[in-house]
Amino acid sequence: MPIDWGKFDRELPSIIEDSAEKTDQQLASRISSITRMTDDEVQELFPEPADVKKLSNLMKIVKSAEARNTKINNIVSNAEEFAGVILTLLTKFV
């Protein structure tokens, strides 16, 4: 059976968008399950998967069993990565 490339090209963007939305929903669900935020809040505050990943990395440091000073040093070492996440969280909760 020949491939209808025109149809394929027309359908591809919606397929990609649907899969991205499902992924975003799954990410939000995972984050909300370990925070006090709802799925909707996570998606609103961190609409990009890359931002959710940064939030996750920050939470790993905060919840680690390391000493407080080690946590602070790890956050400072990654300040550029975490700055947007921290600003978003503080804007929401302050």
CA distance 70 to 64: 10
User: pLDDT exceeding 90 applies to what percent of the chain?
Assistant: 35
Measured from the Cβ of residue 9, the count of other Cβ atoms closer than 10 Å reads 9
Instruction: Return the minimum-mean-pLDDT range out of 46-50, 55-59, 75-79.
Output: 46-50
Phi, psi of 35 (to 5 degrees): -130, 180
| Mean pLDDT for the stretch of residues 65-91 | 95
